[in-house]
Amino acid sequence: MATLTGSQAPPRPAAIALRGVSKTFTRRSTAVRALEPSDLDIEPGEFVSLIGPSGCGKSTLLKLMAGLLEPTEGSVSVDGVLVTEPLPQVGVAFQKPTLLRWRTVLDNVCLPLDIAGDGGPDGRCRARGLLEMIGLAGFEKHYPRELSGGMEQRVAIARSLVGRPSLLLMDEPFGALDEFTREDLNDELLGVWQSEPKTVVFVTHSISEAVFLSDRIVVMSVRPGRVHADIPVRLSRPRDRGLRDKPEFYEAIRHVRAALDEAKGGGR
Ligand SMILES: Nc1ncnc2c1ncn2[C@@H]1O[C@H](COP(=O)(O)OP(=O)(O)OP(=O)(O)O)[C@@H](O)[C@H]1O
């Protein structure tokens, strides 16, 4: 029987394809142009960070990908499907963990499964496994008020992963944390991403965080936002914390910083 191999196989659609996507927010008579028409392709399994000056439209872009905002012009597709509403294969994690205070840690992680009517023993077992993977074994029965900020953020990340999303959208998930906790969570996020490959789009203000995590860094320019530079990060994987001491890490940081400096001046 003939099988499709190599060049015969149909091309796999991009995990995310943005075509001429722009966004203007309108309130009464005021219009804010947040994003100029932008094109971007992200391949399945890529880890891509978005970085840029405050107000350049990073969160707007992420919300457009998540189906939480509608583009003013253009289209967003995920796995070849036009995004018109939030899709089940997409997980999201934002800067604020927004845990439900009356639910235990385990029940917070299981929330997406409960909403999807899939909260059986398998899902709970997976939730426990994720809690263990991100260093929260033993805290399943605790309530959010009993956790530190870093622990709450870990719970939010486990929650975003429990439905096995093929695409994970993260908006400054570690922005409110101290540097040590942030580095620990970077290590843990990479561990999860390496053990369960998925496409990740990650918004951050930290150049070193973007370099440590990403295959590519998309640098955006000042408002109205647009893609200023698309920089591949050619550091080998798997990566571990030792990478942060290596000259090639600093070299990559310098490169991204130069692009970011240009992007900041680009609108003036
Ligand atoms: N719902 C909204 N209504 C009106 N304007 C908005 C809305 N959301 C965002 N904006 C505006 O769009 C622009 C881009 O905002 P966005 O939050 O996407 O930027 P950002 O790059 O994520 O910023 P930061 O790095 O500070 O978080 C800003 O000028 C912001 O004021």
pLDDT along the chain (268 residues), means of 10: 53 89 92 93 96 93 95 96 91 88 95 83 88 90 94 91 91 86 87 87 96 97 89 94 95 96 72
Q: Do the beta carbons of residue 113 and residue 127 sit within 8 Å? A: yes
pLDDT of residue 9: 67
User: Does ligand 1 have an atom closer than 6 angstroms to the CB of 131?
Assistant: no
User: Does ligand 1 have an atom closer than 6 angstroms to the CB of 58?
Assistant: yes
> Using CA atoms, how far apart are residues 97 and 176, in angstroms rounded to an integer?
10
Q: What is the dihedral of CA 179, 180, 185, 187, to 10 degrees?
A: 110
User: Does ligand 1 have an atom closer than 6 angstroms to the CB of 44?
Assistant: no
* Residue 44 DSSP label: T
Query: What pairs with residue 232 in β-bridges?
Result: 216
**What spacing in Å lies between the alpha carbon of 53 and ligand 1's midpoint?**
11
Residue 102: CB partners within 8 Å, gap ≥ 6? 143
Structure tokens at 222: 């000042």
pLDDT of residue 10: 65
Structure tokens at 69: 């905002």
For residue 88, is the peptide bond before it cis, meaning its omega torsion is within 30 degrees of 0?
Answer: no
Query: What pairs with residue 27 in β-bridges?
Result: 30
> Using CA atoms, how far apart are residues 90 and 79, in angstroms rounded to an integer?
10
> Using CA atoms, how far apart are residues 38 and 247, in angstroms rounded to an integer?
33
Strand blocks (E) in 95-138: none
User: Does ligand 1 have an atom closer than 6 angstroms to the CB of 223?
Assistant: yes
Q: Do the beta carbons of residue 219 and residue 256 sit within 8 Å? A: yes
> Using CA atoms, how far apart are residues 117 and 36, in angstroms rounded to an integer?
39
User: Does ligand 1 have an atom closer than 6 angstroms to the CB of 149?
Assistant: no
**DSSP β-ladder status, 81-82 and 73-78:** antiparallel
Atom of ligand 1 nearest to the CA of 23: 12
Q: Do the beta carbons of residue 48 and residue 215 sit within 8 Å? A: yes
**What spacing in Å lies between the alpha carbon of 178 and ligand 1's midpoint?**
24
**What spacing in Å lies between the alpha carbon of 201 and ligand 1's midpoint?**
17
> Using CA atoms, how far apart are residues 66 and 168, in angstroms rounded to an integer?
9
Query: What pairs with residue 35 in β-bridges?
Result: 23, 225
User: Does ligand 1 have an atom closer than 6 angstroms to the CB of 65?
Assistant: no
**What spacing in Å lies between the alpha carbon of 86 and ligand 1's midpoint?**
20
pLDDT of residue 8: 65
The alpha carbon of residue 120 and the mean position of all alpha carbons in its chain are separated, in whole angstroms, by: 27
Residue of 23, 32, 227 to test ligand 1 pocket, by largest number of atoms within 8 Å of CB: 32
Structure tokens at 105: 């840690």
Q: How many residues does the chain have?
A: 268
pTM given for the model? 0.90
**DSSP β-ladder status, 30-42 and 47-51:** unpaired
Atom of ligand 1 nearest to the CA of 62: 18
